[in-house]
Structure 1
């Protein structure tokens, strides 16, 4: 056996450290107390002697307090954080108020729409009930007009079907381009 400078009676400090880490990890995996001593963990040995870790206070709350003292923020950061928290709270309350306002407005608009829709339906129902003969007559007149295919009367039929008054309905789609195309085709027909 080659002599590498280590004596067989001495224990390797790296091996002791690795054994200690494995014991701590095993304790954590077994839901042991992470801040206190591990249950069932054997104390690490160095040269056959037991030793206790001394990285800081043994009381966990004292260790947390010591870390807090070491990590105290500068005054400017603390002040900024407080101002930022107040600003975010103000923004949250403003957004909640705006959301509630939108909700109330949407509810009112929906109720108004339902009222208008119901009024329109009732008006249509009464018109249909009171004037069924008028509805039939207008339908028959429309069908008679569409069935007449006399040559040269195509544009008159198109003109009857299209509303060329641009100010009739403000809520309808813009059909000014189509209207201008139809007028230009009427004035100068396509050559076939």
Structure 2
């Protein structure tokens, strides 16, 4: 391939090199038939010079590192505050729950004692079925609004009231 060398010195150089390298590829032996040659001596390659980082980038990296450290410290501070707050709320809840449970226990104990005294002092001499159901009805709480966090016992209440009003007949 010939280049027009009259106008461009680079084209002249390329044409000269192409003429010199034209026959080089003909005498190369394919790798499979080539005899094993000793490895060439390692030529030390020059290590590239360390890349100098621009001042703006270096400053930005430093500022970014400082911002991240400040954010990490703030995050840890907030976590500690939340832990303390949660611990306090949990302690308050346990305290309130314990007070509620103890009040409920005391009220139940008083109610049970009052019912027991009433049962003992009541008229136990009658053996009629109606009297028995009346005593059972006295022990039951028929106000549905008293305790809302218990199971629904409305059916049992209605059965006891029905039995109180019309007791079953005993067959002997």
Task: Return the TM-score normalized by structure 2.
Answer: 0.47
| Relative contact order higher in (CA < 8 Å, ≥ 6 apart) | 2
Task: Return the TM-score normalized by structure 1.
Answer: 0.43
